Structure 1
Amino acid sequence: MDERVGDELPPLRPFSLMGPSDPVSPFLFNSPHSGRFYPKSFLAQSQLDAIAIRRSEDFMIDMLFGGVVERGAPLLSAIYPRAYVDVNREPYELEAKMFREPLPGYANSRSIRAVGGLGTVPRIVSEGRTIYSGPIALAEALQRIERVYQPYHEALRQRLAAIHAQFGYAVLVDCHSMPSSARNAAPGIRPDFVIGDRFGASCAPELTDQAVEMLRRRGYCVTRNKPYAGGFITEHYGRPQAGLHVVQVEVNRGLYMDEEAIRLHDGFESVQALVEDLAEALMGVAIAPPVAFDEAAE
């Protein structure tokens, strides 16, 4: 169990940003679901035990991709878990029945994710387990969004903007894990990796092609966009026509961890080496910066 679970002292900021302070690469790696600081007050509200509350966590994905920092790419990762506040959602994607008070007019309570209990402040963790025994105060959810969600996205925007200014384009690799039970749309297929690009809308195809081909050459089962095409971050920040590319990488948890006990197993080091090779392959992709209007007119 990680030492931050149930810790009383809150972190100084709701994210970790490792790597060079100034951009030396057009790549940024992001781990929005690996946060594992579970405040005691939050655990006291929950009806789940210390293992069950972590079922939605992308366990140690920040460590799995940590080698990218040595290759000159920064790594942004969440400190708080997605069970507390999910930064891979719209800012106010909230489920109405979760709260004691009515939602504000700007909240999106009709999205599939919110209705299903997986909004910005979720009602459930993976496997449909309910976090709370009853409704919670709306003010608490809004506070989590203000103190955790908004600073996270501000850091993400600032870093992408700095990279874009330096190189003329920026590439965000959004890093996740998926349950080993996850299946593709095709019967019987359980992928080792899923590469998501919103069906070609979020990044240059060279990035997706490189990831899929490299992993398949190593003998892994890889699918594109099914069952995960990319969440809010991929959709919101992925604007290749403006030189902002986002590709999502989902790693099968069974490759590197014991999902029942929430701990790493002997496969971790080999998978860590593999994703470092994947990162290197992606960072070797040459992407042309977007053509400015005046250049295209000549």
Structure 2
Amino acid sequence: MTVERDFPDSLPYELRQPADQRIPFVFNSPHSGQSYPAAFLKQSQLDPHTIRRSEDCFVDQLFAAAVMLGAPLMVAHFPRAYLDVNREPYELDAKMFLEPLPSYANGNSARVAGGLGTIPRLVGEGQEIYAQKLHLDEALGRINNIYKPYHAVLGDVLVATRKRFGYGVLVDCHSMPTGIRFPESGMRPDFIIGDRFGTSCTPELANAAIHLLREMGYVVAHNKPYAGGYITEHYGRPLKCFHALQIEVNRGLYLNEHNYERKPGFEQLQRDIGLFLADLVSLPDFHFLDTPLAAE
């Protein structure tokens, strides 16, 4: 696999930058990519419609106000079905490959067992992506040429943010299927705020996000069933003044999941998210700066 082969006419990801970064926030949309490489589609046994079941459709557009507010927004153009950067770099399923996995691969994680490793095996409700096993070099090529550079850019902009403001806040932006329900009541959450059960950011940040969304009339859950993936866990280091928060938006608010078209409520939700972000980034500093920088 090469970037030139799979993305000959565009970059697989981009960092959308404001003219001047005015706030210590960085936003990330790792699953909203819609550029499906031709070679990848040939490898897949799924039709071009079904293979989109894992997309966080239009999430980068829902959070576009972040750039206008003065924050960078990292956006994946490659699809999640092709490569998932919200995983460890080598969460690989041995059953998918013709060659044995390298010793450094993590083939035993719960995400791999569920078919959702770095190179996913499944989309949607258990639909197998590939008709045949892949060569391991295909996976390693995607990891070396896209996954690692993606995280290098994201890590660099977070370090630059902390250097400039004294701390950095990463907001990882996702969507969830319409059918997600609270197990106790059966009610559908509109948003889920994840902070890895209080480990990836200061509690004030998560609580403020929940409060602001509820004040807008939305039903909001905290950490269940989504507490944050690899990105939230990896970059959320409060003792080093890096805070990470995951936001899940229910697709039922804005998307027809059968044809992947926006619902009439898309623009209103986009405006509401813009207002929510404006309020969130203008709140006090949550005592972030009371924590001294740890040694690098």
Instruction: Tell me whether the two structures share a fold, i.e. TM-score over 0.5.
Output: yes
What is the rounded CA distance, in whole Å, between the counterparts of 2:67 and 2:245 in structure 1? 18
Matched with 1:147 is 145
Task: Tell me, in whole angstroms, the C-alpha distance in 1 between the residues paired with 2:85 and 2:240.
Answer: 23
**Map of 1:264-279 to 2, 5 A cutoff?**
264-279=262-277
How far apart are residue 22 of structure 1 and its match?
A: 5.4
Q: Which amino acid in 2 is paired with 1:186? A: E
2:180–2:188 contact (8 Å) kept in structure 1: yes
Matched residue of 1:139: which SS? helix
Could you list the runs of 5+ residues in structure 1 that have no partner in the other structure? 1-6
- CA 1:286–1:10 in structure 2 vs 1: closer, same or farther (change >3 Å)? farther
Q: Pick from 98, 102, 105: which aligns with 1:100? A: 98
Match of 1:232 in 2: 230
Task: Name the amino acid aligned to 1:47.
Answer: Q
Letter matched to residue 214 of structure 1 = L
Does 2:292 align with 1:292?
Answer: yes
Farther off after superposition, 16-25 or 148-157 = 16-25
Quick check: 1:241–1:290 contact (8 Å CA) kept in 2? no
Superposed displacement of residue 12, structure 1 = 4.6
Q: 1:48 to 1:219 in 2, by over 3 A?
A: same
Paired residue secondary structure (2:11): coil
The SS at the match of 1:292 is: coil
1:3 aligned partner = none
Pairwise CA distance, 1:278: 1.5
TM-score normalised by structure 2 residue count: 0.93
| 8 Å Cα contact 1:16-1:76 kept in structure 2 | yes
Query: Residue 177 of structure 2: which of 172, 176, 179 is its match?
Result: 179
Cα distance change of structure 1 residues 156 and 290 upon mapping to structure 2, 3 Å threshold: farther
The more displaced of 186-195 and 36-45 is 186-195
CA distance in 2 between partners of 1:57 and 1:231 (Å): 16
- 1:61 corresponds to 2:59: yes
| CA deviation string 1:164-202 (max 9, x = no partner) | 000110000100000010123424121110000011111
Q: Which amino acid aligns with 1:291?
A: T
User: Where does residue 32 of structure 1 map in the other structure?
Assistant: 30
1:23-55 CA-to-partner distances (Å, cap 9, x unmatched) read 321000100101111001111111111111000
CA distance in 2 between counterparts of 1:267 and 1:172 reads 27
Superposed displacement of residue 209, structure 1: 1.2
1:183–1:189: 8 Å Cα contact kept in structure 2?
yes
> Helix, strand or coil: the match of 1:189?
coil
Q: Note if 1:124 corresponds to 2:122.
A: yes
After TM superposition, list the pairs within 5 Å mapping 1:159-198 onto structure 2. 159-198=157-196
Q: TM-score, normalised by structure 1?
A: 0.93
Distance change in 2, residues 1:219/1:151 (3 Å): same
Aligned partner letter, 1:101: E
- Give unmatched runs, 5+ long, in structure 2: none
Measure the CA separation in 2 of the matches of 1:130 and 1:240. Answer: 38
Pick closer, same or farther for the CA change 1:114–1:290 going to 2, 3 Å. Answer: farther
Identity of aligned residues (%): 53
* Aligned match of 1:4: none
Q: Is the 8 A contact 2:18 2:68 kept in 1?
A: no
Q: CA deviation at 1:204?
A: 1.3
CA RMSD of aligned residues (A): 1.7
Say whether residues 1:255 and 2:257 are aligned partners: no
Which amino acid is 2:291 matched to? V
Distance in 1 between the 2:108 and 2:283 partners?
Answer: 39
Structure 1: which amino acid aligns with 2:34?
Answer: R
Give the Cα–Cα distance (whole angstroms) in 1 for the partners of residues 75 and 216 of structure 2: 27
Equivalent residues of 1:197, 1:234 under 8 A apart: yes
* Contact persistence 2:239–2:292 (CA under 8 A): no
Q: Residue 208 of structure 1: SS of its match in structure 2?
A: helix
Tell me how far apart the structure 2 counterparts of residues 11 and 275 of structure 1 sit (CA, whole Å).
31
- Taking the aligned partners of 1:169 and 1:26, their CA distance within structure 2 comes to 7
Is this contact kept in 2: 1:19–1:75, CA < 8 A?
A: yes
